[in-house]
Structure formats: C-alpha cells, structure tokens
C-alpha cells in the first residue's frame, strides 16, 4: 500500500517534472480515461447479468427512424383507406 508520505512525494515530483500546466492536462486526460473505463465496466456488467448491451446513440436514432417511417406509412395507408368510398 502507498502511504500518505509516498503519495505526497509522487505529487511533488509530478509537479516538478511536468509543471502545473502539463499536470492539469494529465489529470484531465486521466479523468477521461477513468470515465471511459467506468462506462465500459458498467456495460460489461449489464451484458453479463442481463444478456444485452446498452444501445448507443446511433443505434437509438436508427431504431427511432425505422419506427417513425413505419408509423408514417401506416398513417398514410389508413388515411388513403378512409378517402376511398
């Protein structure tokens, strides 16, 4: 385990070696990587537990387009049936 003294030494060395600007960029990048890791972990857990994957935004848009076109075609078909005597 890393104690508080070792952690403080690592932080001081990081500031000295990278500088405050690079350290902020590094922290931001590490935060993004950690966020992607958490997202992938959650998706894997859901796939293992429930046997399905979380749909991406693109998949949801494709599904919505298909449903909308099906609804539109059904509507047009029903309206044309009503117009015919």
| Predicted TM-score (pTM) of this structure | 0.46
Distance (Å, rounded) from C-alpha 29 to C-alpha 79?
A: 55
pLDDT of residue 85: 62
Contacts of 8 (CB under 8 A, 6+ apart): none
**Which helix (H) or strand (E) is 26 found in, with range?**
helix 4-50
In the three-class reduction of DSSP (H, G, I as helix; E, B as strand; rest coil), residue 2 is classed as coil
pLDDT of residue 33: 93
pLDDT of residue 84: 67
Which positions of the chain have pLDDT values less than 50? none
* Residue count (the chain): 85
């Amino acid at each position: 385990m890393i104690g508080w003294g070792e952690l403080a030494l690592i932080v001081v060395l990081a500031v000295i070696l990278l500088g405050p600007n690079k350290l902020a960029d590094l922290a931001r990048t590490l935060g993004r990587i950690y966020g992607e890791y958490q997202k992938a972990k959650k998706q894997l857990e859901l796939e293992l537990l429930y046997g399905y994957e979380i749909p991406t935004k693109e998949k949801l848009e494709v599904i919505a387009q298909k449903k909308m076109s099906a609804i539109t075609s059904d509507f047009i078909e029903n309206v044309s049936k009503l117009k015919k005597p």
